[in-house]
Amino acid sequence: MNKNINIKKYWWLILVFILTSFSLLASLVLLQQRQEIRKKASVPEGQATVRISPETGIYQVGESIPVNIFFNTRGVTISAIALRLTYLFSGNNPQIIPSNILINQALLNTGDWSCPIKTISSEGGQVKIDIACVNTNPNGYSNSTDTLLASFSLGVQNIPTPNPVVLSFDPNLSVISRKDNAQDTLLTPTSRGTYTITSQPTSSPTPTPTPTRIPTSTPTPTPTFTPTPSPLSTPTSVPTQTPTPSSQPLPGDLNRDGRVDNLDLEILLNNWLTPNADLNSDGTTNEKDLALLLTNWFP
């Protein structure tokens, strides 16, 4: 009798061990599946790409860094591009100054591109470079090779902090809009420009020869005629009229400050494909609203 009881206990222990092992194995499999799902969910689905050139370089104080921005739609037909590039600086003013934003003339010559946003600003230790263009061709635009969109210069005034300077795309405020459904097709940008700044080389000054002193004769002073001032009439002041702000906001003035500028562009891009920045009352925020904002650009 005791022997049978011991055998039953033995089998129960084996069964419990098997069930415990199976539960542990199942938990590990589920955990791995969840991790794989999270990995897949975090993979960007965009196809179009943007690129900074050059991506590295060493420059001296006083030099200018030529920067080119390329884009590639990978065969997808698009209707609009809005890009923000940023880099950090310390102190009250940036040590590297961007300037001279130029859109690729070959694109402009087609007559299909309008690019009114080419602005530079700095705030909170960050320089922001905004470029936005709309393609007005009913068929849209596509390419399959890296195409120059715009270029600008970075003037090196002093050795910056941090050094090297890292120029990169803001993924939240960079959009390439599909023509067919206005979805963002820009793959999360990974290209960046890393520029190391060094001081100017010190050169030995060339001695300047001392000029030979030549005696000069003292000129005879000529009497100066002082004219009698004539009375001047006091100009009548014309009162200036302060423009009365229009009760109707500008199309595109999303923050109601009387301007259509970078702040409105940022609001629009932050609300992409939502009704929150819908300018044409079609229920969503897409490339049509971006085109309307660009048309009414008034910084």
Q: Measured between alpha carbons, how far is 99 from 101 in angstroms, rounded to an integer?
A: 6
Residue 274 in any domain: the answer is yes
Task: Give the three-class secondary structure for 115.
Answer: strand
Q: Are 148 and 69 in contact, with CB atoms under 8 Å apart? A: yes
pTM of the model: 0.70
Four-point Cα dihedral 27, 32, 37, 42, nearest 10? 130
| Cα angle, residue 274 at apex, residues 268 and 275 outer, rounded to 5° | 90
Residues 54 and 185 in one domain: yes
Residues 160 and 285 in one domain: no
Q: Measured between alpha carbons, how far is 174 from 176 in angstroms, rounded to an integer?
A: 7
Residue 2 in any domain: the answer is no
Residue 10 in any domain: the answer is no
Domain count, the chain: 2
> What are the pLDDT digits (tens) for 17-76?
665 565 555 544 444 444 443 333 223 678 999 999 999 999 999 999 999 999 999 999
- C-alpha 231: how far from chain center: 59
> What are the pLDDT digits (tens) for 210-258?
554 544 444 445 444 444 444 433 343 434 333 444 456 788 999 999 9
Q: How confident is the model over 66-91, as a mean pLDDT?
A: 97
Strands 64-72 and 165-169: unpaired
Could you tell me which residues come within 8 angstroms of residue 259 by beta carbon, excluding any fewer than 6 positions away?
250, 253, 298, 299
Q: What is the CATH number of the domain that holds 68?
A: 2.60.40.680
Residue 237 in any domain: the answer is no
Residues 173 and 293 in one domain: no
Four-point Cα dihedral 163, 164, 168, 172, nearest 10? -30
Q: How confident is the model over 118-146, as a mean pLDDT?
A: 96
Split at pLDDT 50, 70, 90, the class of 279 is: very high
Q: Where are the beta strands (DSSP E) in the chain?
A: 49-53, 56-60, 64-72, 78-88, 96-103, 113-123, 126-135, 147-156, 165-169, 175-178, 192-198
Residue 172 in any domain: the answer is yes
Residues 287 and 159 in one domain: no
Residue 68 in any domain: the answer is yes
Residues 159 and 58 in one domain: yes
Q: How confident is the model over 75-80, as a mean pLDDT?
A: 96
Residue 144 in any domain: the answer is yes
Q: Which of 198, 216, 243 is the last residue of a domain?
A: 198
Residues 64 and 167 in one domain: yes
pLDDT at 74: 96
Q: Measured between alpha carbons, how far is 163 from 88 in angstroms, rounded to an integer?
A: 10
Is residue 286 over pLDDT 60?
yes
Task: Give the three-class secondary structure for 185.
Answer: coil
pLDDT at 45: 77
Supply the range of the domain harboring residue 298: 251-299
Residues 68 and 178 in one domain: yes
pLDDT at 206: 56
Residues 55 and 192 in one domain: yes
Least confident of 33-47, 84-98, 111-125, 268-282: 33-47
Q: How confident is the model over 143-150, as a mean pLDDT?
A: 98
Task: Give the three-class secondary structure for 34.
Answer: helix
Residues 58 and 194 in one domain: yes
Residue 29 in any domain: the answer is no
Residue 103 phi/psi, 5-degree rounding, is -80, 145
pLDDT at 201: 73
Residues 184 and 80 in one domain: yes
β-pair partners for 2: none
Query: H/E element holding 48?
Result: none
The residue ranking higher by pLDDT, 13 or 80, is: 80
> What are the pLDDT digits (tens) for 152-200?
999 999 999 999 999 999 998 999 999 998 889 999 999 999 999 999 8
Residues 194 and 53 in one domain: yes
Split at pLDDT 50, 70, 90, the class of 296 is: confident
Residues 64 and 151 in one domain: yes
